[in-house]
Amino acid sequence: MEQHTPRHRPSGQYAAADSRRAAIIDAALVLFAKAGYLNSSLAKIAEEAGTSATVITHHFGSKQRLLMAVLEAREDRTVRTFGRLGPDSDSDSDSDSDSDSGDDCGDDVRALFHEVLALATYNLTQPGLIQLYTRLSAEAGDPAHPAHTYFAERYERVARFLASALQRSLDAGQLRDGIDPQSIAREILAVSDGLQVQWAVAEGRLDFVGLYRAHLDRLARALTVDGKGLDEPA
């Protein structure tokens, strides 16, 4: 009986395919950030990536799947650097025991705010991603937009994580009675995203970090029993 030897694609071909996918994602990120998802055609993305729309379709299947690949790439970069504060960090999730335990922040709200500020500062090193995020989040307000579900679920996950961390601080007696962790979590998200939009519109000339730090410092003073800010020892 004739023996059939399985065919394996040489590793160099895999590397080339991965490199091509990465180039397409980077090109899509740039165009989505500049013109928005709705105004970026596969032809324009292909031109930016130095390939063809057919190749993009081969790798991603559709423009909608390419969009999700771009968003996933953004999340991957965030999680690699700030795993606990990534959008998939969920204190109610069995798959993320580190977030559940809260070992990094414990019940210290000031430590939590420092992590939030550090993540925001890191995001500023990737202005294209901020522009993409702010533009897409506005477009995605339309339920028919392909990223609508992504953003709706992401906001819920991040708000739930922040509220859970704040609840631990409240239970530990660090926060004043009557604090609503859910409302504070939404406030933190609103200020962060609002400043990101203004930073993007100002083309980076806004002191995002300084303004956000000042807000979190005021919040720490208002919420904590001891009334101390971010950089004051507990």
Determine the average pLDDT of the residues in 217-221.
Answer: 97
* pLDDT, tens only, 6-31: 445 555 666 677 889 999 999 998 88
**106 — pLDDT class (breaks 50, 70, 90):** low
> How confident is the model at residue 136, as a pLDDT?
84
Nearest to 32 by CA among 96, 107, 128: 128
The total of other beta-carbon atoms located within 10 Å of residue 148's CB is 16
Domains and CATH numbers, the chain: 10-70 (1.10.10.60), 82-234 (1.10.357)
Alpha helices in the chain (DSSP H): 11-35, 42-49, 53-60, 63-81, 97-101, 109-123, 127-139, 148-171, 181-201, 208-223
204 in the Ramachandran plot: left (φ > 0), alpha (ψ -120 to 50) or beta?
A: left
So what's the pLDDT on residue 171?
95
Residue among 52, 48, 175 nearest 109 (CA) = 175
